[in-house]
Amino acid sequence: MTRGKLTAYPDYLRFWVADTVSLVGTYVTGLAVQVLAVVNLGASATALGVLGGARWLPYLVVGLVAGVLVDRWRRRPILVTADLIRAGLLGLIPVLAATGSLTMTVLIGLMVVFGLFSLVYEAAQLSYLPRLVPAALLTRANARMEQTNSVAQAAGPMIAGWLVNVITAPMAILLDAVSYLVSGLVLRSLATEEKAAPVEHRHLGRELKEGVRWVYRHRMLAPLALGSHAWFLFNGMVSTVMVVFVLNELGFDAFALGVTYAFAGVGGVLGASLSGRFKAGPTIIAGHWFTPLGYGLIPLATNGTAGLVVLCLGQLLFGFSIGFDGPAEMGFRQSVTPDRLQGRMNATIRSFNRGMIVIGAPLGGALADALGNRTAMWIAVGGLVVQAVAITCTPLRHASIQE
């Protein structure tokens, strides 16, 4: 067995397959829910921002608790259960739409519950991966998953745009429900052994504090976490405003919007293919700079073919930033954190990251309604430049993966 190859670890391969199946559906739903809100339910930019933040609200409210529970329990059953529940929740949307019972309030409520189980799933997923491959392969393993994510991001929105036009947004969301069902069944087949934490000495408050202290007192993790929080705040603003900007102001349809997202996926594939070739610190910092570079093109777009090209180029650079930065960031976080703290470390960082979307998405929508779409996006791009400067000046630039 060649231990330097990911193919030597069959459970990782099944884990990767499950993630791939659900990711394609996730990107279909990501676009379909937004189109459903704007076109079918007549949502304003502010209402769309509230919807965008709803999915991430549980991360802000109970994210740290989820990290404690993931560190206490076996992670594979958590992954399977979360997938099956999310399949059921998404399956409700076409049913409610068909009966005339779907409103913005109901849709927002469903996204909150969906976000709760996504929170639990992601905390367990990120904490389970280090059990499947050795530390030396973590960056490579994360890069492969990031490449898959980018391919799904490239294909999913275009498929979603086509499906929305052909079978309507609710039915496109139904396909995502099926993908979560398939993912759960594949994850159920994993055989990697894991043990739950000892029952004695459990104390929720102490465990929460231990996870938070680990992240925000760590010389490298602290600036990484704070930089990520700022990145998610301003990204939440841009991603919300862009939907209204493209559909309403520029007059493109759902398929064109999906095409722009597809270019982000292409950029992600390119970025992930280069991510493991450099030290973690410089890779992470470069990724934080590519985001405002890409997003700075979006408010320059106009209608027509030229505008669509500008949007696609902006999304290409944005996707490259995620693909280039993500695997190095995740591999570094996993390599410096002991197994008993993996769940809390991941939940702490992701909870506050997603919490920033809860703030950024409605803030971006409100600024767009008050000041215009382009002005709101320029404000967010300025914030992204500030966070890039700040993280460049921290010790994170010297970070490297510990094997």
**357 in Cβ contact with 53 (< 8 Å):** yes
Instruction: Give the H or E element holding residue 294.
Output: helix 280-295
User: How far is 95 from 35, CA to CA, in rounded Å?
Assistant: 17
Q: Please report the pLDDT score of residue 392 as a whole number.
A: 92
**194 in Cβ contact with 74 (< 8 Å):** yes
Q: Please report the pLDDT score of residue 196 as a whole number.
A: 58
Q: Please report the pLDDT score of residue 106 as a whole number.
A: 93
Q: Please report the pLDDT score of residue 202 as a whole number.
A: 64
Q: Please report the pLDDT score of residue 308 as a whole number.
A: 94
Which ranges constitute the DSSP H helices of 36-103?
A: 45-54, 57-72, 75-98
pTM across the whole model: 0.69
Angle at 69 between CA 330 and CA 193, to 5 degrees: 70
Q: Please report the pLDDT score of residue 1 as a whole number.
A: 37
| Residue 276 three-state SS | coil
Domain ranges in the chain are: 9-189+207-398
User: How far is 320 from 116, CA to CA, in rounded Å?
Assistant: 28
Determine the distance from the C-alpha atom of residue 152 to the mean position of all C-alpha atoms in its chain, rounded to a whole number.
12
Q: What's the chain's Rg over C-alpha atoms?
A: 20
Q: Please report the pLDDT score of residue 201 as a whole number.
A: 54
Q: Please report the pLDDT score of residue 352 as a whole number.
A: 86
Count of residues making up the chain: 403
Residue 137 DSSP label: G
Average pLDDT of each block of 10 consecutive residues along the chain (403 residues)? 68 86 76 82 82 83 76 83 92 90 92 89 79 78 76 72 79 86 89 62 75 88 92 92 90 85 85 80 91 95 92 94 85 82 81 86 91 95 95 85 59
In terms of Cβ atoms closer than 10 Å to its own Cβ (0-12, 13-18, 19+), residue 76 is buried
Q: Please report the pLDDT score of residue 86 as a whole number.
A: 92
Q: Please report the pLDDT score of residue 393 as a whole number.
A: 92
CATH class of 9-189+207-398: mainly alpha
In terms of Cβ atoms closer than 10 Å to its own Cβ (0-12, 13-18, 19+), residue 270 is middle
